[in-house]
Amino acid sequence: MSRLLRVELDRFASRTLIRLGVAAILVICCFAVVSAWDAASPPSQAEQDQAKLYYEQALADWEANGEQYVEDCRAQEEADKAASDDPALVDYGCDQMTAPELESWLGGEPSFEGDTTMLLTPISLLFVLAPVLLAGSFVSAEFSTGSIGNWLTFAPRRVRVYLSKVLAAGLATIPVAAVGVGIVLAGSWAAFQYYGTGDAAPPADVSSPVHVALRIVALAPVVAVIGAALGFLARHTAAVLGVVLAWLVLVEAILVNWVRELQPWTLALNVQAWVEGSAPYQLVECTVDESGQSCQSVEHVISQTQGAVYVGVVALVVVAVALLVFRRRDVS
């Protein structure tokens, strides 16, 4: 088994398409570093002067019309409460209307932890889709070219062949993910060190960028294993891509938009929960009392543990189904 695994790792690394895919991943990570430098750089004097000008204009407008704005807000709120079936749900926050502050125009202070985490979060999507497609193409190419049949003549035990290819796809993805997120972390740290910014405290609900990076590295081989299993099922790179797109569009977007109760069972939301530490979603809940039916939006949260369990179970199911099909299906 170990010899087969080493051979499959070499074959994975030698494929031109995979090398191009890895290069593209690293280039995208380098572009993310450019965004980190933009986030770390303090505003220029011209930007500060422009922000101060807008602030002074807004402050002058508030001093002249602020009381009228609050009165109009309260009047509109009262009118809408009178017309609403549930007045308690109508709250426009009129009492929170205050004079503008200069910080609103200048923006918050740069924060290495907060800004880097916000940069890594969308990068996690790259390390979900790319490993699936690269691993899927690695396996499906064996069927497209017919080399899987020749390979089975040298290693006729299908379970060992299957496991070696799936494990090779997962293991080979780990260094790619590690280098990619390492580029983002190192580049962001260098940017904040260069400008001497980033000392501001991050928001309380934002995870550490190092923790987010480690979760992305742990996630990449899992989705690569799913991609390799899809390669055994679909047997063509275009078919693997079609399966992924069909799931994202038909299930994750359209079906969930129709049936909102399916949100906690979507792959995207559970991946988000694993990477970010949790993932909120909204459901409309209605109650009926003496005054009639009232509905309100209630926030629910998917925990990090639930996200990890969900992704792990999906991986196990797809891998098991693909193994069963590969053992019983003709490879020609």
**pLDDT per position as a tens digit, 56-103:** 788 788 888 878 888 888 888 788 777 766 666 677 778 787 877 766
CA 79 to chain centre: 42
Are 199 and 95 members of one domain? no
Q: Is residue 122 part of a domain?
A: yes
Q: Is residue 55 part of a domain?
A: yes
Query: What is the structure's pLDDT at 107?
Result: 63
- Residue among 276, 112, 271, 117 at smallest CA distance from 181: 117
pLDDT tens across 137-187, in order? 988 888 777 676 666 666 567 788 888 889 999 999 999 999 999 999 999
Query: What is the structure's pLDDT at 332?
Result: 60
- Residue among 228, 216, 238, 245 at smallest CA distance from 315: 228
Enter the DSSP assignment of 332: -
Better-predicted residue by pLDDT, 177 or 39: 177
pLDDT tens across 284-322, in order? 777 766 666 666 777 889 999 999 999 999 999 999 999
Query: What is the structure's pLDDT at 314?
Result: 95
Considering the entire predicted model, what is its pTM? 0.81
What percentage of the chain carries pLDDT values higher than 70? 84
Q: What does the alpha-carbon distance between residue 52 and residue 230 come to, in Å, rounded to a whole number? A: 56
Q: Of 72, 105, 138, which marks where a domain is finished?
A: 105
Are 192 and 272 members of one domain? yes
Tell me which residue has tokens 């923790």: 211
> Using alpha carbons only, how large is the chain's radius of gyration in Å?
26
Q: Of 60, 84, 105, which marks where a domain is finished?
A: 105
Q: What does the alpha-carbon distance between residue 268 and residue 219 come to, in Å, rounded to a whole number? A: 12
Which has the minimum average pLDDT: 193-207, 258-272, 303-317?
A: 193-207
Are 98 and 120 members of one domain? no
Query: What is the structure's pLDDT at 143?
Result: 78
Q: Is residue 260 part of a domain?
A: yes
Which amino acid makes up residue 140?
S
Query: What is the structure's pLDDT at 100?
Result: 78
Tell me which residue has tokens 């060992």: 160
Are 143 and 202 members of one domain? yes
Q: Is residue 169 part of a domain?
A: yes
Which has the minimum average pLDDT: 134-138, 149-153, 194-198, 325-329?
A: 149-153
Are 248 and 155 members of one domain? yes
Question: Encoding tokens for residue 182?
Answer: 């390492």
Query: What is the structure's pLDDT at 38?
Result: 83
Q: Is residue 168 part of a domain?
A: yes
Are 210 and 97 members of one domain? no
Partners of residue 301 on adjacent β-strands: 280
Are 125 and 212 members of one domain? yes
Tell me which residue has tokens 């924060």: 111
Enclosing domain of residue 154 = 10-42+110-328
Query: What is the structure's pLDDT at 160?
Result: 84
Query: What is the structure's pLDDT at 44?
Result: 67
Q: Characterize 114-149 residue by residue with b for buried, 16 or more Cβ atoms within 10 angstroms of its Cβ, and e for exposed.
A: bbbbbbbbebbebbbebbbbbbbbbbbbbbbeeebe
What percentage of the chain carries pLDDT values higher than 90? 30
Q: Is residue 3 part of a domain?
A: no
Q: What does the alpha-carbon distance between residue 190 and residue 13 come to, in Å, rounded to a whole number? A: 30
Are 14 and 58 members of one domain? no
Are 180 and 265 members of one domain? yes
Are 192 and 251 members of one domain? yes
Are 143 and 97 members of one domain? no
Are 194 and 94 members of one domain? no
Torsion 222-227-228-232 (CA) sign: positive
State how many domains the chain has.
2
Q: Of 79, 105, 131, which marks where a domain is finished?
A: 105
Q: Is residue 4 part of a domain?
A: no
How high does pLDDT run on average in the chain?
83
Q: Is residue 2 part of a domain?
A: no
